[in-house]
């Protein structure tokens, strides 16, 4: 069995990755976000909308911290090819609940360019919700191509690097890693 320090670097499809955030840090941050959400929505009945596939681990751990009346729904989008973000976002599964007059919390694994989030927000706002807040585990401020005023809950801000683990993948691999890893780019 390897010790935690021996597992700090991994290889996925011939790409090297190094650990940047361990699961204990993630759990602590999600617990704090859960407390904030419980306080903010104490006397309301929010709908949490997870953006699949990447959000499944964040959403599962976050919902364990939510102790208020709430509902859960999901959308599924495709915006990556390999390690490259596409400009076009494909909607694979759309909204399946009425959000009119409701408090909505969109749960993302990562907001980088913001293309997927913009797509989701457009679909949510079309239903005239009472309010919309965004909760994301990871935020890449330097990669944003859109302006958002409703990103209210952020786990960690990271540099504009490709990351895997804790729901994030590279070619379908790495989603089940408990920690988050960034790609190690060889020096030129």
The CA distance from 181 to 112, in Å, is 16
The CA distance from 139 to 112, in Å, is 6
The question of whether 22 is a catalytic residue gets the answer no
The closest alpha carbon to 155, from 144, 140, 175, 174, belongs to 140
Radius of gyration of the chain (CA): 17
What are the residues whose beta carbons fall under 8 Å from the beta carbon of 117, sequence distance 6 or more?
51, 106, 108, 111, 134, 136, 146, 148
The closest alpha carbon to 48, from 114, 3, 4, 95, belongs to 95
Spacing of C-alpha 59 from chain mean position: 8
- Give alpha helix (H) positions in 66-139: 115-125
The CA distance from 151 to 106, in Å, is 9
> Which residue among the candidates 61, 112, 169, 179 is catalytic per the annotation?
112
Residues labelled catalytic: 112
């Amino acid at each position: 069995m390897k010790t935690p320090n021996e597992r700090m670097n991994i290889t996925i499809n011939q790409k090297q990755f190094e650990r940047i955030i361990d699961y204990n840090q993630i759990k602590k941050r999600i617990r704090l976000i859960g407390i904030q959400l419980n306080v903010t929505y104490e006397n309301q009945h929010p709908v949490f909308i997870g953006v699949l596939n990447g959000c499944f681990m964040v959403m599962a751990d976050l919902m364990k911290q939510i102790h208020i009346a709430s509902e859960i729904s999901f959308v599924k989008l495709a915006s990556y090819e390999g390690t490259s973000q596409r400009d076009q976002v494909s909607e694979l599964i759309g909204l399946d609940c009425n959000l009119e007059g409701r408090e909505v919390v969109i749960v993302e694994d990562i907001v980088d360019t913001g293309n997927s989030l913009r797509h989701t927000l457009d679909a949510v706002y079309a239903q005239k919700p009472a309010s919309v807040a965004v909760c994301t585990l990871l935020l890449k401020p330097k990669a944003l191509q859109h302006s958002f005023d409703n990103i209210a809950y952020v786990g960690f801000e990271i540099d504009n690097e490709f990351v895997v683990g804790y729901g994030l993948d590279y070619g379908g691999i790495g989603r089940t890693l408990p920690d988050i890893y960034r790609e190690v780019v060889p020096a030129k």
